Amino acid sequence: MVAGTANADGHKRVKWKLHSAWGAAVPHLGTSGVRWAKNIGRMSGGKFSVKFFEPGALIPANEGFDATSKGSIDAAWTTAGYDVGKYPALAFFTAVPFGPSMGEFFAWKKFGGGDKIQQRIYAKHGIQQMDCFAIGPETSGWFKNEIKELDQLRGMKMRFFGLGARVMQKIGVSTQLLAGGDIFPALEKGVIDATEFSMPAMDIKYGFYQIAKNNYFPGWHQQVSVSQLLMNKKKFDGLSDANKALIEVGCGDAIHHTYAETEYVNPFAMVEMGEKYGVVTRRWRDDQLAVFEKAWNSVVAEDSKKDPVFKEVHESYAAFRKAYAKWGSAQALASTYLK
């Protein structure tokens, strides 16, 4: 709720409840929400306080959209990928299969039209959306056995996120979306055979390596992962301009912090998993990646025909990528040119 008690200088003190889709101890996804909430308090001198709530404390982990829309919570720390049941196109705003680098992605979002479409979608439901944290490429999946040929994936039950799940379905995988804390029990009980979740620094905390030792790369389905703060629009609109600015500045800092932090810790997590837990790092062959990409193109064609919102978002995204390619290709460097 928004409290309106006035302090000595006449300014109203604001108190918000922040639901998080991830626990406070979950590296980067949850810890970033705790940090953001504390920073709002710091920057406001205690006049704007945000209390972080664990998944399930107020509402179930992935129900931030509805609760924020209704105003039963003030805000949610979540990802657009959890809202694809309402609008499949929302997945574009968090991660796109075979997608761009972080710089290109944010160029499209902030200046290429992506944000305008996303804001319009959420505004229909009384929600103010703001990008608020971001991480780099994820792993492609955890498997109990080496996948020598993609035919081995047919009939497999796998936890998968976003638009990448549609691609996996195309090649015969049965997918479901599970919250992070539900994945290990599902693997352990055989409810799912394999999973993807996030990047090495986060996956190691969930212990997937205890059951599945084969970790595949690259994360073709999520080269960039941008997540968000959802706010009840009436409550956001009722804030002072100064408090709105605090939220914007706090989110900008959180994006910078989470991206840099995760890029720093991932190589060390990969080494630890290999040396300490016997995880084998594997890479999809180019011909296998081509199968995933072909399936992705098929998903785009099919969903664009039946879903006008999906078509609009994809056309905006694709047009920007085409325009950006001249600059991007001109500046592209190989990792080394030394023999």
Residue 3 lies in a domain: no
Residue 320 lies in a domain: no
Low-confidence ranges of the chain (pLDDT < 70): 1-11
Same domain for 274 and 168, yes or no, is yes
Q: What is the pLDDT of residue 195?
A: 98
Residue 313 lies in a domain: no
Secondary structure of the chain in HEC code, one letter for each residue: CCCCCECCCCCECEEEEEEECCCCCCCCHHHHHHHHHHHHHHHCCCCEEEEEECCCCCCCCCCHHHHHHHCCCCEEEECHHHHCCCCHHHHHHCCCCCCCCHHHHHHHHHHCCHHHHHHHHHHCCCEEEEEEEEECCCCCEEECCCCCCHHHHCCCEEECCHHHHHHHHHCCCEEECCCHHHHHHHHHHCCCCEECCCCHHHHHHHCHHHCCCEEEECCCCCCCEEEEEEEEHHHHHCCCHHHHHHHHHHHHHHHHHHHHHHHHHHHHHHHHHHHHHCCEEEECCHHHHHHHHHHHHHHHHHHHHHCHHHHHHHHHHHHHHHHHHHHHHHHCCCCCCCC
Q: What is the pLDDT of residue 339?
A: 87
Q: What is the pLDDT of residue 9?
A: 46
Residue 321 lies in a domain: no
Same domain for 86 and 197, yes or no, is no
Q: Cα(3)–Cα(48) distance, rounded to whole angstroms?
A: 10
Same domain for 228 and 214, yes or no, is no
Q: Domain containing 237 — which CATH number?
A: 3.40.190.170
According to DSSP, the residues that pair with 133 across neighbouring strands are 227
Place of tokens 């997608």: 99
Residue 174 lies in a domain: yes
Amino acid letter for position 60: P
Residue 245 lies in a domain: yes
Query: Which residues have a Cβ under 8 Å from the Cβ of 124 and sit 6 or more positions away?
Result: none
Instruction: Centre a 10 Å sphere on the Cβ of residue 85 and count the other Cβ atoms it contains.
Output: 10
Same domain for 242 and 279, yes or no, is no
Is 175 in contact with 160 (CB distance < 8 Å)?
yes
Q: Cα(320)–Cα(121) distance, rounded to whole angstroms?
A: 20
And the tokens for 135?
């991480």
Q: What are phi and psi of 22, to 5 degrees?
A: -130, 150
Same domain for 45 and 131, yes or no, is yes
Same domain for 113 and 195, yes or no, is no
Positive/negative CA dihedral, 222, 88, 132, 100: positive
Is 32 in contact with 90 (CB distance < 8 Å)?
no
Residue 167 lies in a domain: yes
Same domain for 56 and 181, yes or no, is no
Q: Which domain holds residue 94?
A: 14-135+223-265
Q: Cα(125)–Cα(148) distance, rounded to whole angstroms?
A: 45
Q: What is the pLDDT of residue 11?
A: 62
Q: Cα(318)–Cα(115) distance, rounded to whole angstroms?
A: 15
- Taking only Cα atoms into account, the Rg of the chain, rounded to an integer number of angstroms, comes to 20
Overall domain count for the chain: 2
Same domain for 183 and 296, yes or no, is yes
Q: For the whole prediction, is pTM greater than 0.85?
A: yes
Instruction: Centre a 10 Å sphere on the Cβ of residue 319 and count the other Cβ atoms it contains.
Output: 13
Q: Cα(60)–Cα(145) distance, rounded to whole angstroms?
A: 33
Same domain for 193 and 289, yes or no, is yes
Instruction: Centre a 10 Å sphere on the Cβ of residue 301 and count the other Cβ atoms it contains.
Output: 10
Q: Domain containing 303 — which CATH number?
A: 3.40.190.10
Nearest alpha carbon to residue 115 among 124, 125, 105 = 105
Q: Convert the pLDDT of each residue in 105-124 to its tens digit.
A: 999 999 999 999 999 999 99
Same domain for 286 and 163, yes or no, is yes
Q: What are phi and psi of 151, to 5 degrees?
A: -60, -25
Q: Convert the pLDDT of each residue in 260-315 to its tens digit.
A: 999 999 999 999 999 999 999 999 999 999 999 999 999 999 999 999 999 999 99
Same domain for 160 and 299, yes or no, is yes
Same domain for 87 and 228, yes or no, is yes
Residue 183 lies in a domain: yes
Residues in the chain: 339
